[in-house]
Structure 1
Amino acid sequence: MIFEQSWRWYGPHDPVSLKDIKQAGANGVVTALHHIPVGEVWSMEEIQKRKDLLEESNKRDRFPLHWNVVESLPVHEHIKQGKGDKATFIENYKESLRNLGKSGITRVCYNFMPVLDWLRTNVRYRLEDGSTALLHDLQDLIIFDLFILKRERAEEDYDPEMAERAKSRYPQMPQEELERLRESLLMALPGDRKGFTLEKLRQGLESYKGISAEQLRDNLVDFLKEIIPVAEEAGVKMAIHPDDPPWPVLGLPRVVSDIDDLNYIFSKVPQKANGLTFCSGSFGASEKNDLPGIIKTYYDRIHFVHLRSVQREADSRFYEANHLEGSAEMYKLVRTFYECQKGQKREPIPMRPDHGHQMLDDLEKTTYPGYSAIGRLRGLAELRGLEMGIERSLEN
């Protein structure tokens, strides 16, 4: 096996149940304690409660599940901003890592994206086959920024020609399309039931005013220098998730977007516990990123894998393609993982299919965009078949 097949689960409120995950064929469960406010300690008791849910499910069914990756243990904004009280939140983070290690949970995915996580301008983009996908269109983001969010001096952050096109297009957009744009960009992250409002987003952006990419990068390195020794002692591998999309958004800097960023982070904090979540969709949104090259260069630091493909189009526009299609060249990626694994004789890395299409009867259900069951089931099945085909053809 190249990968340990896994599935993201948002806990007891997730419409995709543990039983569904077993039927999909995954046995690694990627989950987190979303109910604990960001910055507070994950206690042994709360961690055990989540483990107990899996153990109870395992007693009912013979197909075993286990919690193999935390996604994610979020980093408080004051740590990213370098605020005076960051030390308190860093100490809480360290204690959470210790508790996870004691509980046998030894991989943690996290990100260092300011204010926002992954960002899409249409979370229900209809494809030719009738399914829906996630879409990011820079032109629509500019319209949101200039005319809905009305961020001060926003126009300075964009190419003048694109800004002019946005000004021309905005008056012609139907109200329904504008509402969809607003809804998509203010959507709550899974596990966060409150979501964003325009005012909350404005406040978040204001809190980063004056913070450059260099300052954010320094704050990340300071954070890693504090937590990585604790992670090592606890037996925990940290896996930073790349920026999505891998370029600045709404005036916010991004510092985990390409190979240069990775070179900087791993040179400053060289311990192997300081690792990477390789996300083929996040890196793959930029044609500048050499995905097989990133795998080969940092394979020994890749502690977790997200496999998905985006179809890149003009002017920083992309949508989530089927897992074996699009711009990612998935065969080449999985084969590169196979060759690296054989070279290092390494155990399978936890991998989950990411951002499936909403399709079939999931179109009639209330699901979180990108995380409905059937689209991810298709993705996992395709990836499982690709993995088996590569292994069988190269080993015989």
Structure 2
Amino acid sequence: MEKTWRWYGPADSVTLSQVRQTDATGVVTALHHIANGEVWSVDEIRKRQRECADAGLTWSIVESVPVHEDIRRGAPGRDGWIDKYCQTLRHLAECGIDMVCYNFMPALDWTRTDLDWPLPNGGTALRFDADAVAAFDMWVLEREGAEASYSPARLESARAWLDAASQDEVDRVTTTLLAGLPGAEESYSVEEFRDALAAYAGQTHESMRDNLAYFLERVIPVAEEVGVRMAIHPDDPPFDLFGIPRVVSTMEDAQWILDAVPSPANGLTLCVGSYGVRADNDVVEMARRFADRIYFSHLRSTRREEDPDSFHEAVHIDGDIDIVGVVRALVVEERRRGADGPRISIRSDHGHRILDDLTRDSAPGYPLIGRMKGLAEVRGVELAVNHALDAASEPDPAIHAQQTGR
């Protein structure tokens, strides 16, 4: 499988020369300096390609071409934004880039409450605290009707969290939720976030699916025509937030997406850490069931806490997810496709901050050493899986001797 590395462009504290030393060969990046929804020009795409090539790397995957909020909301101006999206796909294809990872998360992108949660070994991890989110929603954001989004037990535990928290802690959670994590295209003040949520008022899971289908029905034919594979990333976390429905959270959601526009250009990014937050998502079964439409996989693991709606980023090979089972399913599919089939690309995701990571600035979830450790672990799993599959396909020497008399 192609080993890739997420890079946030020239401003990233991790340089391309350092990426080269991790043994990744493909770069996953985007043109973050271009406003959300605007067309990426061929010149800008080729400039980024040259930056990667000069470091001995290839810009392999786009993550992401952002989907404009008007498209997600089904607003009247969405057709113009979809036209621009399609033009960007044409330009990417012209430059030889054939895979786009994207998401359909409304208002907020991926969300955490803690960016440096202490681990027993001295490192730090990303964390999502469901009580902190509910407390922010209820008593900082003061979203109208917020209480309907939570159970009585959640409201009680959220109140207890708020009563025990210092003002600095409340301010930290507020900033973390609203500032926008790496890859997100939006950041907000509290007032701006209220307005962004209000723009989704009245949306249901059905209407959000309709909005996604409208986008897919217009974009996927263009992607197929120009030879680009679209790989949708799941919601992170994979459940509704702040009263807005999320529709890329479950196995059933993934099946619906593939069925909505049945084209080889309409595929999945199997982010096992995102899907794996939900205990009802059997991620290994998802890897097997959707194998022929998985083009990209983010390999990381999360661990649910005593409160099952709270979780933190675990060691890549030691969380709630059977990473070995997932990698085995992907390797089996890669073998089935053969050399002429579409590649499967992977990247280690959301590493812990460890060792020198603790002394250097890096984008939250994207330290150098923590991700390199995760990549090494995943590469080891892949190697072991390939050896096991090779051994299983070879005849047992003892049995062969009995059968042949030698």
TM-score, structure 2 as length reference? 0.93
The partner residue of 1:107 within 99, 102, 113 is 99
The partner residue of 1:365 within 348, 360, 377 is 360
Alignment partner, residue 33 of structure 2: 35
- Where do 1:13-28 residues align within 5 Å? 13-28=11-26
- Where do 1:242-253 residues align within 5 Å? 242-253=234-245
Backbone CA RMSD of aligned residues: 1.4
| Percentage of identical aligned residues | 45
Cα offset, 1:184, TM superposition: 1.7
Pick which of 329-338 and 128-137 moved more. Answer: 329-338
- Where do 1:222-371 residues align within 5 Å? 222-313=214-305, 314-345=307-338, 346=341, 348-371=343-366
Q: Aligned partners of 1:237 and 1:347: how far apart in 2?
A: 9
Q: Aligned partners of 1:268 and 1:193: how far apart in 2?
A: 26
Q: Aligned partners of 1:250 and 1:204: how far apart in 2?
A: 11
**Is residue 358–residue 369 contact of structure 1 (8 Å, CA) maintained in 2?**
no
Alignment of 1:170 with 2:162, yes or no, is yes
- Higher relative contact order (CA closer than 8 Å, sequence separation 6+): 1
**Is residue 266–residue 274 contact of structure 1 (8 Å, CA) maintained in 2?**
yes
**Is residue 305–residue 352 contact of structure 1 (8 Å, CA) maintained in 2?**
yes
**Is residue 34–residue 192 contact of structure 1 (8 Å, CA) maintained in 2?**
no
Residue identity matched to 1:369: P
**1:172-210 Cα distance to aligned partner (Å, 9 max, x none):** 212232222122212323266973221221111111011
Alignment of 1:213 with 2:211, yes or no, is no
Alignment of 1:201 with 2:193, yes or no, is yes
Q: Aligned partners of 2:293 and 2:58: how far apart in 1?
A: 22
Residue identity matched to 2:30: A
Alignment of 1:119 with 2:111, yes or no, is yes
Q: Which runs of 5+ in 2 are unaligned?
A: 392-406
Helix, strand or coil at the partner of 1:337 = helix
**1:238-276 Cα distance to aligned partner (Å, 9 max, x none):** 000011111100111100111111221211200110000
Q: Which runs of 5+ in 1 are unaligned?
A: 58-63
Q: Aligned partners of 1:307 and 1:259: how far apart in 2?
A: 17
**Is residue 309–residue 325 contact of structure 1 (8 Å, CA) maintained in 2?**
yes
Residue identity matched to 2:188: F
Alignment of 1:10 with 2:8, yes or no, is yes
**Is residue 35–residue 191 contact of structure 1 (8 Å, CA) maintained in 2?**
no
TM-score, structure 1 as length reference? 0.95
**1:5-56 Cα distance to aligned partner (Å, 9 max, x none):** 0000011110100001000110100010001101110111111111111222
Q: Aligned partners of 2:132 and 2:72: how far apart in 1?
A: 27
Q: Aligned partners of 1:326 and 1:125: how far apart in 2?
A: 16
Helix, strand or coil at the partner of 2:290 = helix
**1:269-322 Cα distance to aligned partner (Å, 9 max, x none):** 001100000000010000000111111111111111100000112230110000
The partner residue of 2:378 within 380, 383, 395 is 383
Q: Aligned partners of 1:175 and 1:185: how far apart in 2?
A: 15
Q: Aligned partners of 2:252 and 2:54: how far apart in 1?
A: 45
Alignment of 1:76 with 2:74, yes or no, is no
Q: Aligned partners of 1:335 and 1:27: how far apart in 2?
A: 21
Q: Quick one: structure 1 residues 268 and 286, their matched pair in 2 at CA, closer, same or farther if it must change by over 3 Å?
A: same
Alignment partner, residue 46 of structure 2: 48
Helix, strand or coil at the partner of 1:11 = coil
Residue identity matched to 2:312: Y
Helix, strand or coil at the partner of 2:374 = helix
Helix, strand or coil at the partner of 1:114 = coil
Residue identity matched to 2:181: L
The partner residue of 2:178 within 151, 171, 186 is 186
The count of residues paired between Structure 1 and Structure 2 equals 388
Residue identity matched to 1:257: S
Query: Larger Cα Rg: Structure 1 or Structure 2?
Result: 2
Q: Aligned partners of 1:186 and 1:139: how far apart in 2?
A: 16
Pick which of 140-149 and 194-203 moved more. Answer: 194-203
Cα offset, 1:347, TM superposition: 5.5
The partner residue of 2:389 within 371, 389, 394 is 394
Q: Aligned partners of 2:346 and 2:222: how far apart in 1?
A: 25
